[in-house]
Amino acid sequence: MRVSIIGTGYVGLTTGVCLGFLGHKVTCIDSDQNKIALLRAGKTPIYEPFLTELMAEARPNLSFCGEYAGSLQDAEVVFIAVGTPPSADGSPDLRYLSEAARGIGQHFEGDFLVVVNKSTVPIGSGNWVGSLVRESYEQQHGRKANGHFSVASNPEFLREGTALHDSLFPDRVVIGSDNNRALQVLYSLYRPILDQTFAAPTYLARPEGVGAVPLISTDLASAELIKYAANAFLATKISYINEIGQLAEKVGADISQVAKGIGLDARIGTRFLQAGIGWGGSCFGKDTAALVATAREYSLSMPIVEAAREINRRQRERVVEKLLAELKILKGRTIGLLGLAFKPNTDDLREAPAIDIARKLIERGCKVKVHDPVAMDRFEREYPDLSVVCCESPEEVADEADALALITEWQDYRELDWEVMASRMRSPLVLDGRNALDRARLERFGFRYLGIAG
């Protein structure tokens, strides 16, 4: 099928590359000409495991374009995968979404186009996008748009760091549409994924037991709400275990054991129960805020989601409080942060706890040293004013440090020679912000070990 994708961020690019790999003819459109130049050269503007490799395999089916003209006139499906960043008041900024909708209306010349919202958009946006597309089509072409367009919602559930795996082997596919023709087009598009009939690349092998993927076919509003409800549930699950972690710490319980003990109940599940400094990233914070804001428009409050947000905010403060309790005086101390990205296997720094924690420590008069295996370049570009010492290795962070705090649980940090790390520090104190390190081993090397919970 002929597919166009507007926006080459995590969602757009991953979708484009996967659909290209499955044999569809895909045009990825982005107004950022630097990104387009990079992509044409076979490079990816984001760090995502195996994306470059899969893009190379899909290359014969992929093209990249810096403008709408010439890139969607005969498409059968167009995905809108542009950013919806939070604006000053917390509500999503829909500027790029409306530009994309207008661009589609202006440039489409075929008979029938399925316009798919893949960006996380406020509930009700499907109808709004439809009216923008039709309006600009009618202005441009001077004829009625009736019957030429159908808007569908197809929310994305991929996680950064495992984006390709999540797209090729999803737990489910959700499609919201009230138009049969549009539904048929999207079934055909996703058929290889729904039936799992494609040959998986060796570096992204199909996990054992993955068979046909469930399809939820529903109305627009339900599909839009599924996205928010899923992210808010996952965020709440993490905040819940972090809340239990605080009690675990008081009563002397081990939160990892508690999480395992409850998670093995199939009704609860073991995933997203890793206690620590909480969630970051561009999704959970933004989507929980948007859900609360939408509910407010209907005079509803969402106390569970609000509490999850508050607990998450407090987890970051606890890092500073714990170091203060242990070191007594923070002014003049050197604190090393291991990890900047909001989670491992990405260089994404949006809403990263490390940034907040570094700021709080600097306010308290600490000297802050930082390292990340992948995100250093991005950090120096995006936070030139944050006065921290950027280090080339974790060992350099340890030099003369009064304490180290593990902020992102990169595998590299688990495998460090912690004996050497201890020998380079002023005092071997480690705060394991992700409960990811081997406490007994670190204590053998003379570390005083602090968990974030339990």
In the structure encoding, which two tokens stand for residue 357, read together? 């924690």
For residues 186 and 73, the answer to whether their CB atoms sit within 8 Å is: no
Shortest reach from residue 235's CB to ligand UGA, in Å = 7
Residue 51 CB, shortest distance to ligand UGA, in Å, is 14
Distance in Å, CB of 57 to ligand UGA, minimum? 23
Catalytically annotated residue among 18, 28, 283, 366: 283
Number of residues written out for the chain: 454
CA separation, residue 207 to residues 196, 203, 360 (Å): 11, 11, 42
Residue 278 identity (one-letter amino acid) = G
In 3D space, the residue among 375, 316, 4, 8 whose CA is nearest the CA of residue 161 turns out to be 375
Smaller CB distance to ligand UGA: residue 35 or 343?
A: 343
Collect all residues with Cβ–Cβ distance below 8 Å to 306 and sequence separation of at least 6: 292
Minimum distance from residue 46 beta carbon to ligand UGA (Å): 12
Q: What are phi and psi of 191, to 5 degrees?
A: -50, -50
Q: Which is nearer to ligand UGA, 233 or 443 (CB)?
A: 233
Nearer to ligand UGA, 70 or 214 (CB): 214
Task: Give the contacts of 381 (CB within 8 A, at least 6 positions apart).
Answer: none
**Interface with ligand UGA (CB under 6 A):** 120, 156-160, 231, 234, 238, 272-274, 276, 278-281, 283-284, 342-343
DSSP code at position 410: -
Could you identify the residue written with the tokens 């275990």?
241
Is residue 295 within 8 Å of residue 302, measured between CB atoms? Answer: yes
Give the residue carrying structure tokens 């990405």. 346
**Is the CB of 342 or the CB of 383 nearer to ligand UGA?**
342
What is the C-alpha to C-alpha distance for residues 437 and 439, in angstroms, rounded to an integer? Answer: 6
Nearer Cβ to ligand UGA (103/278)? 278
Q: CA 100: distance to chain centroid?
A: 22
Q: Strand, helix or coil at 290? A: helix
Q: How far is the CB of 9 from ligand UGA (least distance, A)?
A: 10
Active site residue 18: no
Closer to ligand UGA by Cβ: residue 84 or 136: 84
Q: Catalogue the active-site residues.
A: 283
